[in-house]
């Protein structure tokens, strides 16, 4: 039946076409990566076969010796990469080699700028695998047969990487896949034993199955007879799963290449942690911190999780149960001796051994980040820029590791040397004033809004450092972070500002006296603004501005309100507290204003202005302009 299907020409899916074109151009300067990608696919195919064979041993077809064979023909200008792995059916070929199934591809393509240099970095993290064959080949053939299928169910796929490909049924005696590259004129250098071997050594030494290449002909075997003979093949790699080797035996560049193999990332990782655990549970883990966030980091269905092996047998990709969501950027492998080979995702979720491994791996991952932070400031800054916002989900998600996660957080600050999010809570504490009891912070929409906030005035005057937070997640983060190293964290815009021992007794007495003196004014203000405010009070926060808005301790802040509104959730109504600066000349003048209507207009303007300074939108902009115009008119009279 299968052989009845004749040759068919099909178009690439639009996205595949775009990506293909872009990739050929962007990766041109690093052509040799094609071999890594194709060997990587062959090794994955061997992993998949081994896994399938756990339940269907017959698919081995008496050939249990899994390997990759690389051959070449210098005269014809071809290179072939063959494996005896899982292989593909006709449908598999169409969906795997004609489309790009990964979710988010369309958004990814939209994000491309057209600037080749920038795009090549983006494309690097996308991982284009099989298509990289077209960097060096102007036409590519794939011969494949799925393990367990009959000899007649072979598939022949061919394309010149432009707009379409052909697919036809064929006979294939051996299971698995052969990729034949017809090299471009300028890539013929790759049809060479030395060159190919060199690339395999560089990129694929860690591959767990043998990568075989023709043995160079013996010097004295130049007679006609021996040239007729088929060449012998020899393994050119170690063929041992990298994570099973002792740490001291693995070189950094081997760790790096292995990372690229499992993550499909073209960039080196920032760091890794390789551990063998023995005892009640036995497992080996190798975790990596990538250098760049994947384009689908924020996509809930994005790729995440570790590669799971059980006793060296590959079981599944993206095993999500081994790390919490806030560590979803970590890549790696876990190989366990305590999980059943027949495990499924559902079983993993219920397995207590997995729970224990998850908590140990979480600690490992946090330790690895903490080491990176200690050892390499620049690398940690890169990590923070790419993944900081994800890590900020941690304190809310993982109570038991809150303290450790908090140590990894980085903040912008009013400290003179802070240039962006580069100060830790420990840095802050080390600089605290002798009498300072709390860690102060401010949440705003932007760095500029934060730095210009009137709430910082008193802190500037007294030289007290304040952490500045401007990420969307910050208010949520801080609602889960009440304390660090025995010090409470205080939002400077909330409650009645009490600087504790930082205010001396005389200042406190003076404040109390003022509160008494200004009581009548505050009542007038409350009457004038009515329901627009919760209350009005004398401010201890301000030195230069006449007024500001504060929040009650338990009220929801602006950032959280916006997030809830955007997600369509009901938002509780909160009213601000209106604080006046008794030292400001404007407040003195207002106190003397006898005309209540004029007083109300002026107070309303002052209130709106404070609201604007907080980055809010005015609730009634028309009223604001009317009152402002009235005032301007009076000035012009
Ligand atoms: N040698 C092979 N044997 C069996 N299946 C293969 C082989 N090469 C590719 N495939 C199939 O084609 C799919 C697409 O391969 P491709 O290399 O483009 O992407 P990938 O390996 O899934 O990920 P990445 O794009 O990040 O490399 C693979 O997921 C696999 O299912």
pLDDT at 577: 92
**CB-CB contact of 460 with 414 (8 Å):** yes
For CA atoms 130, 132, 133, 134, the dihedral sign is positive
HEC profile of 304-320: CCEEEEECCEEEEEEEH
**CB-CB contact of 31 with 135 (8 Å):** yes
Residue 143 sits in the same domain as residue 38: yes
pLDDT digits (tens, 9 = 90+) for 377-386: 999 999 999 9
What's 15's domain CATH number?
3.30.565.10
For CA atoms 323, 382, 258, 148, the dihedral sign is positive
Q: Is the CB of 42 under 6 A from ligand 1?
A: yes
What's 275's domain CATH number?
3.30.230.80
Tokens of 109: 């393509």
Residue 441 Cα to ligand 1 midpoint, Å, equals: 48
138 within some domain: yes
pLDDT at 104: 59
Domain of residue 419, residue span: 410-492
The domain boundary residue, chosen from 457, 492, 527: 492
pLDDT digits (tens, 9 = 90+) for 304-318: 889 999 888 888 888
Once rounded to an integer, what is the mean pLDDT over residues 400-410? 97
Q: Is the CB of 85 under 6 A from ligand 1?
A: yes
Residue 58 sits in the same domain as residue 166: yes
pLDDT at 407: 98
**CB-CB contact of 100 with 18 (8 Å):** no
237 within some domain: no
d(CA 285, CA 368): 12
Q: What is the largest CA-CA distance in the chain?
A: 118
Q: Quick one: pLDDT band at residue 570, thresholds 50, 70, 90?
A: confident
Q: Is the CB of 83 under 6 A from ligand 1?
A: yes
Which is more confident, 37 or 269? 269
Q: Is the CB of 130 under 6 A from ligand 1?
A: yes
Pocket probe mutation, ligand 1, options 13, 16, 23, 41, max atoms within 8 Å of Cβ:
41
Residue 360 Cα to ligand 1 midpoint, Å, equals: 32
User: Looking at this predicted complex, what is its ipTM?
Assistant: 0.97
Nearest CA to ligand 1 atom 27: 129
**Any binding-site annotation on 129?**
yes
Residue 68 Cα to ligand 1 midpoint, Å, equals: 15
Residue 97 Cα to ligand 1 midpoint, Å, equals: 8
Cβ neighbours of residue 428 closer than 8 Å, sequence gap 6 or more: 411, 413, 415, 439, 465, 467
Q: At what angle do helices 585-592 and 519-529 cross, to 10 degrees?
A: 80
Q: Is the CB of 128 under 6 A from ligand 1?
A: yes
Residue 256 Cα to ligand 1 midpoint, Å, equals: 21
The domain boundary residue, chosen from 452, 468, 492: 492
577 within some domain: yes
Q: How many domains, in total, are found in the chain?
A: 4
Residue 316 Cα to ligand 1 midpoint, Å, equals: 15
- CA–CA distance from 466 to each of 461, 492, 499 (Å)? 12, 8, 12
Q: Is the pLDDT of residue 108 over 70?
A: no
Residue 18 sits in the same domain as residue 150: yes
Strand-pairing partners, residue 636, are none
Residue 45 sits in the same domain as residue 163: yes
pLDDT at 402: 96
Tokens of 538: 């004398």
Tokens of 147: 């393990």
Which is more confident, 336 or 297? 336
Residue 530 sits in the same domain as residue 624: yes
Query: Cα angle at 51 between 45 and 52, to 5 degrees?
Result: 90
Catalogue the E-assigned strands of 262-353.
Answer: 271-277, 283-289, 306-310, 313-319, 331-336
How many secondary structure helices (H) and strands (E) does the chain include?
A: 24, 22
**Any binding-site annotation on 125?**
yes
Residue 369 sits in the same domain as residue 478: no
281 within some domain: yes
Pocket probe mutation, ligand 1, options 20, 42, 45, 130, max atoms within 8 Å of Cβ:
130
pLDDT at 505: 77
65 within some domain: yes
**CB-CB contact of 146 with 175 (8 Å):** yes
- In this prediction, what percent of the chain has a pLDDT beyond 90? 57
232 within some domain: no
Q: Is the pLDDT of residue 289 over 90?
A: yes
Nearest CA to ligand 1 atom 13: 96
Residue 44 Cα to ligand 1 midpoint, Å, equals: 8
114 within some domain: yes
Nearest CA to ligand 1 atom 11: 96
pLDDT digits (tens, 9 = 90+) for 352-361: 899 999 999 9
Q: Is the CB of 127 under 6 A from ligand 1?
A: yes
Neighbours of 352 (CB within 10 A): 9
Q: Quick one: pLDDT band at residue 498, thresholds 50, 70, 90?
A: confident
Nearest CA to ligand 1 atom 9: 41
CA atoms within 13 A on the CB side of 593: 19
pLDDT at 162: 81
Nearest CA to ligand 1 atom 23: 129
| Mean pLDDT across the chain | 88
Nearest CA to ligand 1 atom 22: 129
Residue 36 sits in the same domain as residue 161: yes
Once rounded to an integer, what is the mean pLDDT over residues 98-122? 63
**Any binding-site annotation on 88?**
yes
pLDDT at 122: 61
Q: Is the CB of 99 under 6 A from ligand 1?
A: no
Once rounded to an integer, what is the mean pLDDT over residues 447-471? 92
The domain boundary residue, chosen from 339, 358, 380: 380
Once rounded to an integer, what is the mean pLDDT over residues 519-537? 92
Once rounded to an integer, what is the mean pLDDT over residues 437-449? 92
Residue 96 Cα to ligand 1 midpoint, Å, equals: 7
**Any binding-site annotation on 83?**
yes
Own/partner pairs for 347-355, CB < 8 Å, 24+ apart?
A: 348/308, 348/319, 348/321, 349/321, 353/281, 354/321, 354/322
Tokens of 276: 């063998």
Once rounded to an integer, what is the mean pLDDT over residues 137-161? 95
| Residue 545, Cβ density class (10 Å: 0-12 exposed, 13-18 middle, ≥19 buried) | buried
Residue 488 sits in the same domain as residue 513: no
Q: Is the CB of 269 under 6 A from ligand 1?
A: no
Residue among 368, 66, 111, 89 at smallest CA distance from 210: 66
**Any binding-site annotation on 345?**
yes
Q: Is the CB of 84 under 6 A from ligand 1?
A: no
**CB-CB contact of 286 with 332 (8 Å):** yes
Sheet with 483-484, side-by-side order of all strands: 412-413, 467-469, 438-443, 487-491, 483-484
Tokens of 223: 């007679």
Residue 353 Cα to ligand 1 midpoint, Å, equals: 31
Residue 172 sits in the same domain as residue 308: no
Polymer length in residues for the chain: 637
500 within some domain: no
Residue 198 sits in the same domain as residue 255: no
Q: Is the pLDDT of residue 184 over 80?
A: yes
Residue 12 sits in the same domain as residue 159: yes
Range in 25-34, 61-70, 255-264 the model is least confident about? 25-34
**CB-CB contact of 145 with 174 (8 Å):** yes
**Any binding-site annotation on 72?**
no
Pocket probe mutation, ligand 1, options 67, 96, 207, 267, max atoms within 8 Å of Cβ:
96
* SS3 call for 6: coil
Q: Quick one: pLDDT band at residue 112, thresholds 50, 70, 90?
A: low
- CA–CA distance from 410 to each of 45, 227, 490 (Å)? 42, 66, 17
Once rounded to an integer, what is the mean pLDDT over residues 383-395? 96
What's 462's domain CATH number?
3.40.50.11260
For CA atoms 413, 416, 420, 424, the dihedral sign is negative
Residue 43 Cα to ligand 1 midpoint, Å, equals: 10
Which is more confident, 349 or 116? 349
**CB-CB contact of 155 with 93 (8 Å):** yes
- In this prediction, what percent of the chain has a pLDDT beyond 70? 91
Q: E strand or H helix at 490, and its extent? A: strand 487-491
Residue 97 sits in the same domain as residue 50: yes
Residue among 136, 105, 100, 103 at smallest CA distance from 122: 105
**CB-CB contact of 325 with 289 (8 Å):** no
Range in 2-16, 236-250, 394-408, 533-547 the model is least confident about? 2-16
Residue among 68, 326, 86, 381 at smallest CA distance from 204: 68
Residue 151 Cα to ligand 1 midpoint, Å, equals: 22
pLDDT at 3: 46
- CA–CA distance from 335 to each of 28, 41, 287 (Å)? 36, 20, 12
């Amino acid at each position: 039946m299968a052989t009845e299907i004749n040759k068919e020409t099909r178009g690439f899916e639009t996205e595949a076409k775009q990506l293909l074109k872009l990739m050929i151009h962007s990766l041109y300067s690093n052509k040799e990566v094609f071999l890594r990608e194709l060997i990587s696919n062959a090794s994955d195919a061997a992993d998949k076969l081994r896994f399938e064979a756990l339940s269907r041993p017959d698919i081995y077809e008496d050939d249990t010796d899994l390997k990759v064979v690389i051959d070449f023909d210098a005269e014809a200008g071809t290179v072939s990469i063959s494996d005896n792995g899982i292989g593909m059916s006709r449908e598999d070929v169409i969906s795997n080699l004609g489309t790009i199934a990964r979710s988010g591809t369309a958004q990814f393509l939209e994000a491309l700028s057209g600037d080749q240099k920038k795009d090549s970095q983006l494309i690097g993290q996308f991982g284009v695998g099989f298509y990289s064959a077209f960097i060096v080949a102007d036409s590519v053939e794939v011969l494949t047969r799925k393990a367990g299928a009959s000899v007649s169910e072979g598939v022949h796929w061919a394309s010149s990487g432009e707009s379409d490909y052909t697919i036809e049924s064929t006979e294939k005696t051996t299971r698995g896949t052969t990729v034949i590259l017809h090299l471009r004129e300028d890539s013929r250098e790759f049809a060479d034993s030395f060159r190919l071997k060199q690339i395999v050594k560089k990129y694929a030494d860690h591959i767990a199955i043998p990568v075989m290449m023709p043995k160079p002909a013996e010097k004295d075997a130049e007679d006609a007879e021996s040239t007729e003979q088929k060449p012998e093949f020899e393994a050119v790699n170690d063929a041992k799963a990298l994570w099973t080797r002792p740490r001291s035996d693995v070189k950094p560049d081997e760790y790096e290449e292995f990372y690229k193999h499992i993550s499909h990332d073209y960039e080196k990782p920032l760091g890794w942690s390789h551990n063998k655990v023995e005892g009640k549970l036995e497992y080996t883990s190798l975790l990596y911190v990538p250098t760049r966030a994947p384009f689908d980091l924020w996509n809930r269905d994005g790729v995440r999780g570790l590669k799971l092996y059980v006793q060296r047998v590959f079981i599944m990709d993206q095993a999500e149960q081994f790390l919490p969501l806030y560590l979803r950027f970590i890549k790696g492998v876990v190989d366990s001796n305590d999980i059943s080979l027949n495990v499924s995702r559902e079983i993993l979720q219920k397995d207590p051994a997995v729970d224990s491994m998850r908590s140990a791996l979480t600690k490992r991952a946090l330790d690895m980040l903490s080491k990176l932070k200690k050892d390499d400031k620049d690398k940690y800054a890169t990590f923070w820029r790419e993944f900081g916002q994800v890590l900020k989900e941690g304190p809310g998600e993982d109570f038991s590791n809150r303290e450790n996660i908090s140590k990894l957080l980085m903040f912008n600050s009013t400290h003179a040397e802070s240039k962006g999010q580069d100060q830790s809570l420990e840095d802050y504490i080390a600089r605290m004033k002798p009498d300072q009891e709390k860690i102060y912070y401010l949440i705003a929409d932007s760095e500029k809004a934060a730095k210009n906030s009137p709430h910082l005035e008193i802190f500037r005057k007294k030289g007290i450092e304040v952490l500045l937070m401007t990420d969307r997640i910050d208010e949520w983060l801080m609602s889960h972070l009440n304390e660090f190293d025995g010090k409470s964290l205080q939002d400077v815009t909330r409650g009645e500002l009490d600087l504790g021992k930082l205010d001396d007794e005389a200042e406190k007495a003076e404040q109390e006296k003022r509160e008494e003196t200004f009581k009548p004014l505050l009542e007038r203000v409350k009457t004038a603004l009515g329901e627009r405010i919760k209350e009005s009070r004398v401010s201890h926060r301000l030195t230069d501005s006449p007024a500001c808005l504060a929040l009650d301790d338990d009220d929801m802040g602006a950032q959280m309100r916006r997030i809830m509104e955007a997600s369509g959730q009901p938002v509780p109504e909160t009213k601000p507290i209106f604080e006046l600066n008794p030292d400001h000349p404007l407040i003195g003048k207002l106190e003397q204003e006898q005309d209540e209507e004029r007083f109300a207009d002026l107070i309303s303007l002052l209130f709106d202005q404070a609201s604007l300074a907080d980055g809010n939108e005015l609730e009634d902009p028309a009223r604001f302009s009317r009152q402002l115009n009235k005032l301007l008119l009076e000035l012009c009279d």
